[in-house]
Amino acid sequence: MAQLTFKNVSISDFTLQDQSPQYSNQSWTGALIQRSTGVQWYDYQFTLSFNQKDRLEVLAFLAQYRQGKPFQMSMGHLSQYNGSQSGTVTSKVAVNRGLYKVQTNLPQTLEVGAMIQFANHKKLYTVVQNTGTELSLFPALQANVQLGETIFYNGLVIEGTLAPDNDYQMPVTNLVQMQFKCHEVVR
């Protein structure tokens, strides 16, 4: 799947929002119980800015993707890793969907809070614990991870679909700005 690019249209104001279904309850002893339920995903939005003469690029984007076809795009500065890890990180063993721990080939220094992806699917995961050779992730894996599969931590992209409640109004002005709401694809 190709990454979303435009020639004469600029993408700005990318905003990522975590949609993690959770509940909390306070027990009769006063203890707070908090749990995650279901699948975690991201909603995101971005703005396209363009001159009226370049509207065909945006109309082509809408024609291709407004019916739910997934597309990939950079998340701007959120795509760039700023930690201490360098070099390739791969999985040491195959890991089944639904598990949340992945052993790595060599000691690595991915920080807690770092976002990662796997070569075989574009779901975004967050590192919640790192022993140096094993990553604990949130959410649990949405697809199987193969032996030796590359773990990406820099240059991340998000795969998503346009939300059905987008307002596709295109004002008749020389400089046009349109904002789009999207949902991360979770397979």
Nearest Cα neighbor of 128 from 117, 136, 116, 118 is 136
Pairing of strands 22-26, 41-51: unpaired
User: 3-state class of 96 per DSSP?
Assistant: coil
Are 161 and 185 in contact by the 8 Å Cβ rule? The answer is: yes
Question: pLDDT (tens digit, 9 = 90+) per residue, 108-132?
Answer: 999 999 999 999 999 999 999 999 9
> Each residue of 128-145: pLDDT tens digit?
999 999 999 999 999 999
- Give the angle 13-153-15 at the CA atoms, nearest 5°: 15
The Cα 137–Cα 141 span in angstroms is: 8
DSSP letter, residue 77: G
Q: What is the pLDDT of residues 73-119, one digit of tens each?
A: 999 999 999 999 999 999 999 999 999 999 999 899 999 999 999 99
